[in-house]
Amino acid sequence: MQFGLIEMWQAMGAVAKTVAIILIFLSVVTIYLFIERQLVFARAKRKSLQIAPKLAELMKNGQLKEALAVASKKENKNSHLARVTAAGIEEYLSSKDTNLSLDEQIESAQRGCVRAQAIFTQELKRGLSVMATIATSSPFIGLFGTIFGIINAFRGMALTGSGGIGAVAAGIAEALVTTAFGIGVAVIALWTFNTLNSKIDVYSTEMENTTSEIVDYFIRTSGQ
């Protein structure tokens, strides 16, 4: 018996084939989510690079309402920096209109930035829980196929009345293939999950820095 991929697939039982198909599907889901998240991150970065200089210039000139209008535009909603800036300015102007104290105005602006940061971070994390689940469950799904492969190996021994390698080869191959599939899918899911998490940490830091800069700006300008 040859042990190419086609031969091993043909020798696999129904359960092992089902396990393999499930694992292939999970790997496709993982790759799809990774690409989709990468596009979302790239769009956020691109939009932020475009709008940040404009917002900085408007705020430097004291044009808060104009900066809020730019940051709140629909086309800029995918920018993490625009979202945080818009939330901070909106809360600051709203608290100023209600005649709150200076400290309350600044605290309100800071809370608005923090809320926007939390919401955007959750949007960035969309789909990561699925990746984490795939990473942790894939080896066990593969192990399920492995168990049936071992069972088939013993069945081969029982049918032939022999313990030779020929009797158990198909079952052992089936078990190893499903194990390899499970580990492979888990590695892919874990790698993509950690890669995306690292990028989210970078975006979170950028939003925290923006929040700090906005609060500092309001402190400086309010004292003038």
d(CA 2, CA 6): 9
Average pLDDT over residues 198-214: 93
Residue type, 162: S
pLDDT score, position 162: 56
- Cα separations (Å) of 160 from 7, 9, 111, 173? 21, 22, 73, 18
Q: Give residue for tokens 């990028």.
A: 199
Reference 210, options 76, 64, 86, 97; nearest CA is: 86
Mean pLDDT (the chain) is 85
- 17 vs 64 pLDDT, higher one: 64
pLDDT in tens, 96-122: 888 888 888 889 999 999 999 999 999
Average pLDDT over residues 200-209: 94
Is the CB of residue 175 less than 8 Å from the CB of residue 150?
yes
pLDDT score, position 204: 93
pLDDT score, position 207: 93
Residue type, 33: L
Half-sphere exposure of 137 (CA within 13 A, CB side): 12
Reference 190, options 25, 23, 27, 9; nearest CA is: 27
pLDDT in tens, 136-187: 999 998 888 777 777 766 666 666 655 555 545 556 767 778 888 899 999 9
Is the CB of residue 103 less than 8 Å from the CB of residue 135?
no
pLDDT in tens, 5-23: 666 666 667 777 888 889 9
> What's the longest Cα–Cα distance across the chain?
94
pTM of the model: 0.81
Domains in the chain: boundaries: 5-222
- 2 vs 18 pLDDT, higher one: 18
pLDDT score, position 138: 92
